[in-house]
Amino acid sequence: MGFFSKLLEKVGLSGARAEPAGEAAAPAGAAPVTQAAPAAGQAGFAAAPAGAPAAAAPAAAPAPGAGAAAPAAAAKASPTPISTVDVVARLEGLARANPQKLNWKTSIVDLLKLLELDSSLAARKELATELGCPANLMGDSASMNVWLHKTVLRKLAENGGNIPQELLD
């Protein structure tokens, strides 16, 4: 698990990451997908006996393993909506409960401390590298921290976090 994945988990966005193919679950309350009956002779389906009515009961189930391809294909066909998490409310709640006065809105160090993640220079460099920090900023910790803070907030928003625009500018 990467550093940013840990950060996503801490703010409640761990479900925002795409699941490996074939492991995606249907959203709660989702209606099952129904399909028209396939034509006789299609792979995995039995042909109706001669003289049988066209509206007969569904044919035999597909061969084992063949059914897994249909849900996977359907999952790839339509994007799954990302649930929104009010990151600001969550972080403000953590800040109220924390005995330290942490300014998470402007400081990457304070943001990481608030989330009980490693805020050392080495950890911040690891996170900056993971998020693609330009090499010219990596040698200057202050510049890297500013870039990292803005990038983390932007990435939280991209992953379903509700981040106000003034924190993204």
pLDDT of 79 reads 53
pLDDT confidence of residue 124: 97
The tens digit of pLDDT for each residue in 18-57 reads 333 333 333 344 343 333 443 444 444 344 444 444 444 4
The whole model's pTM is what? 0.59
- For the chain, list residues with pLDDT below 70: 1, 15-83
Could you tell me the residue ranges of all domains in the chain?
3-11+84-162
- 85-92 contact pairs (CB < 8 A, 24+): 85/11, 85/12, 85/13, 85/160, 85/161, 85/162, 86/162, 87/11, 87/12, 87/13, 87/156, 87/161, 87/162, 87/163, 88/162, 88/163, 88/164, 88/167, 90/11, 90/12, 91/11
